[in-house]
Amino acid sequence: MIAIERARQQLIELGLTQAAGLLDSRLEAASQKDLTYADFLVDLLDAELLARRDRCISARTRLAHLPFQKTLDQFHFSFQPSIDER
């Protein structure tokens, strides 16, 4: 087994599925940008943390049983003139 496949398998075993899925593309990008090993690792782990944060927010929103989901960008301030848009 080559090193990249072994690393991917170890990432999966550690539960770092997003990092495992992005390994090839991040390695290629790191090679093109001439990143240090530490910078490559930080980039890969940042992607994993972002994916986990997104899954956590999604799960909590689903468990809250909210009738609909809106962001502040979707909020119509004209319907609620008493609220300051700032």
% the chain with pLDDT above 70: 99
30 touches 39 (CB < 8 A): yes
Q: pTM for the complete prediction?
A: 0.74
Q: What is the pLDDT of residues 20-30, one digit of tens each?
A: 999 999 999 99
- Structure tokens given for 60: 């909590």
Q: What is the pLDDT of residues 60-85, one digit of tens each?
A: 999 999 888 888 888 888 888 888 88
Domain ranges of the chain: 3-65
d(CA 54, CA 48): 10
